[in-house]
Amino acid sequence: SANQNPAGQPPTATYDSAFLKACRREPVPHTPVWFMRQAGRSLPEYRKVREGVPMLESCTRPELVTEITLQPVRRHGVDAAIYFSDIVVPLKAIGVDLDIKPGVGPVVERPIRTRADLARLRDLTPEDVSYVAEAIGLLTAELGETPLIGFAGAPFTLASYLVEGGPSRNHEHTKALMYGDPQLWADLLDRLAEITAAFLKVQIEAGASAVQLFDSWVGALAPADYRRSVMPASAKVFEAVAGYGVPRIHFGVGTGELLGLLGEAGADVVGVDWRVPLDEAARRVGPGKALQGNLDPAVLFSSREAVEAKTGEILAAAEGLEGHIFNLGHGVLPSTEPDALTRLVEDVHTRTAR
């Protein structure tokens, strides 16, 4: 793969970046920083180019995707770009009747709850998402030494939207299926694992330097249920892309009790939300994995001094970790002041310069 650097091969443009070094747990010139949901509604230049273009349509336009993905790199000087898309894009691409409703999130017209429904989830082929490879080709040319992170939704989080029919607080239909029909549940997650793996392969083969699997809502589960009913599918996704040698990041919200299992599923980097300090997260994850996190995105609404103090606490907790990528504990909130993000990148870079 273009991303690997086996002996005797010239390194790719991004190979020596601080971000990829931290993912590999190698020494870094400074702690790398990027933000989940860094491209999007917090930026006026984003709102401008998105005017009149529905969210899912914007994801199919390579020039627009390229511009939106580059905006936070230009503005904040982050150490990595994240491909502008959404976790439901591969589902839309195989014909699932869903849309993203502004201010609501993904909504599925006919939820998936029976074995007959499952037959509607067909395989994803590269041709279904040809605009993704095209956009990544444009992007990597523009990004040069800045790595591009590809991503996908994890089987559980995708299933929660498909089974509920939209966003959910309690995931009651999802859990009813998981506990009530374990075989159908396992088959659904396995199907989603295959679609997700195919979608990540398209991104890596087009030039993504790392991938993140978002299992945003998996914190709703107890560890024993995660291990039994979800981990096999997520592990299948990680295993499917292991051969490319690109770092694999695994993230969820409210996953303090699951951190060890998120690593065990096959991640090289475990994302941590703000509820567990990074030194404690390192104990829970164990050796051999880098950590990513973990400033509470709401802290960015407080004073400069408060943000700097919290940043200092995180960097202190990360002292001595083998690999640390600074990030928020969840996505950038839409009304975040963009300058607060720019200052945060500068602050982390300055304080960790070696």
**Residues labelled as active-site residues:** 37, 41, 50, 86, 161
Asked if 52 is part of the footprint of ligand CP3 (rule: CB under 6 A), the reply reads no
- From 39, 178, 230, 233, residue interacting with ligand CP3 (rule: CB under 6 A): 39
Where do we find the tokens 């980097």? 269
* 7 is annotated as contributing to ligand binding: no
For ligand CP3, the closer CB: 262 or 321: 262
Closest C-alpha among 5, 18, 293, 39 to residue 146: 18
- From 18, 33, 80, 82, residue interacting with ligand CP3 (rule: CB under 6 A): 82
* 86 is annotated as contributing to ligand binding: yes
* DSSP string computed for 191-211: HHHHHHHHHHHHHHHHT-SEE
Cα 239 to the center of its chain, rounded Å:
17
Minimum CB separation of residue 41 from ligand CP3 in Å reads 5
For ligand CP3, the closer CB: 246 or 321: 246
Asked if 41 is part of the footprint of ligand CP3 (rule: CB under 6 A), the reply reads yes
Tell me, by CB under 6 A, how many residues bind ligand CP3: 21
φ, ψ of residue 4 to 5 degrees: the values are -85, 160
Interhelix angle 182-206/172-180, rounded to 10 degrees, is: 110
Handedness of CA 208, 249, 113, 105 (dihedral sign): negative
Which ranges of 59-114 would DSSP assign to H, the alpha helix?
62-76, 89-93
For ligand CP3, the closer CB: 291 or 321: 291
Q: Cite the beta strand spans of the chain per DSSP E.
A: 81-82, 98-101, 105-108, 148-153, 210-214, 248-251, 269-271, 290-295, 324-328
- In residues, how long is the chain? 354
For ligand CP3, the closer CB: 263 or 271: 271
Spatial separation of the C-alpha atoms in residues 353 and 114, rounded to whole Å: 54
Per-residue x/- track, 201-230, ligand CP3 (CB under 6 A): -------------x-x--------------
Per-residue x/- track, 133-172, ligand CP3 (CB under 6 A): ------------------x---------------------
Q: What residues form the annotated binding site?
A: 37-41, 86, 161, 216, 330
Positions in the binding site for ligand CP3 (CB under 6 A)? 36-41, 55, 82, 84, 86-87, 100, 102-106, 151, 214, 216, 331
Q: What residues form the annotated binding site for substrate?
A: 37-41, 86, 161, 216, 330
